[in-house]
């Protein structure tokens, strides 16, 4: 997906959430800088997501760790979960989602502006979800809206 298309997709989604009377808040530059000082450079498309809706997005992803305030826990718990199950965490891994404490989504290629997403589920190996971050977001947005 092209950058403009991704931005348009997020803007469309934000409008839908706001029309429901819910709030959306993006991360500040300082918040993003603090993430990058802790985890290293993050991909462009992920940064766009953070800027637009990285703090909160209404009821989107309720029950799943996905937003700025949860990112440190997501990354720590993902590494712990992998180690507990004798799985070596990949180099440059940045976990951006954790569901119910047993499944995490992450990327490893911070150079790619729109990196491939991988999944780790407790008791299973690491799998490629066959989507980039923007494709994942588009699929998740479509599921939320339907």
Cα dist. 43→84, 113, 115 in Å? Answer: 28, 5, 7
pLDDT at residue 60 tops 90: yes
Which residue is associated with the tokens 């409008």? 15
**pLDDT over 90 percentage in the chain:** 95
Give the Cα separation of 108 and 91 in Å (integer): 7
The pair of three-digit structure tokens given for residue 84, joined into one six-digit string:
């507990």
| Residue-wise pLDDT tens digits, 94-146 | 999 999 999 999 999 988 999 999 999 999 999 999 999 999 999 999 999 99
> What value, to the nearest 5°, has the Cα angle with vertex 134 and ends 132 and 137?
110
Q: Average pLDDT in the 19-43 region?
A: 96
Say how far apart CA 115 and CA 20 lie, in whole Å.
31
Q: What is the pLDDT of residues 66-94, one digit of tens each?
A: 999 999 999 999 999 999 999 999 999 99
List the CATH code of the domain at 3-145: 3.40.1580.10
CA distance 118 to 83: 17
- Region 33-60 average pLDDT: 96
The residue-averaged pLDDT of 37-44 equals: 94
For residue 143, what are the contacts with CB-CB under 8 A and spacing of at least 6? Answer: none
Task: Kindly write down the DSSP assignment for every residue of 65-125, as one continuous string.
Answer: E-SGGGHHHHHHHHHHHHHHTT-PPPTT-EEEEEETTTEEEEE--SSSSSPEEEEEETTS-
Instruction: Inform me whether the pLDDT recorded for 47 exceeds 90.
Output: yes
């Amino acid at each position: 997906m092209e950058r403009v298309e991704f931005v348009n997709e997020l803007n469309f989604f934000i409008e839908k959430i706001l029309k429901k009377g819910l709030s959306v808040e993006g991360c500040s530059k300082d918040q993003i800088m603090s993430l990058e000082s802790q985890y290293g450079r993050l991909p462009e498309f992920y940064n766009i997501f953070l800027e637009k809706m990285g703090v909160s997005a209404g009821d989107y992803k309720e029950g799943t760790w996905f937003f700025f305030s949860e990112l440190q826990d997501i990354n720590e718990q993902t590494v712990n979960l992998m180690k507990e199950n004798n799985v070596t965490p990949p180099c440059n891994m940045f976990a951006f989602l954790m569901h119910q404490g047993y499944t995490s989504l992450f990327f490893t290629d911070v150079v790619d502006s729109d990196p491939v997403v991988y999944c780790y589920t407790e008791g299973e190996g690491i799998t490629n979800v066959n989507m980039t971050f923007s494709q994942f977001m588009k699929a998740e947005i479509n599921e939320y809206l339907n």
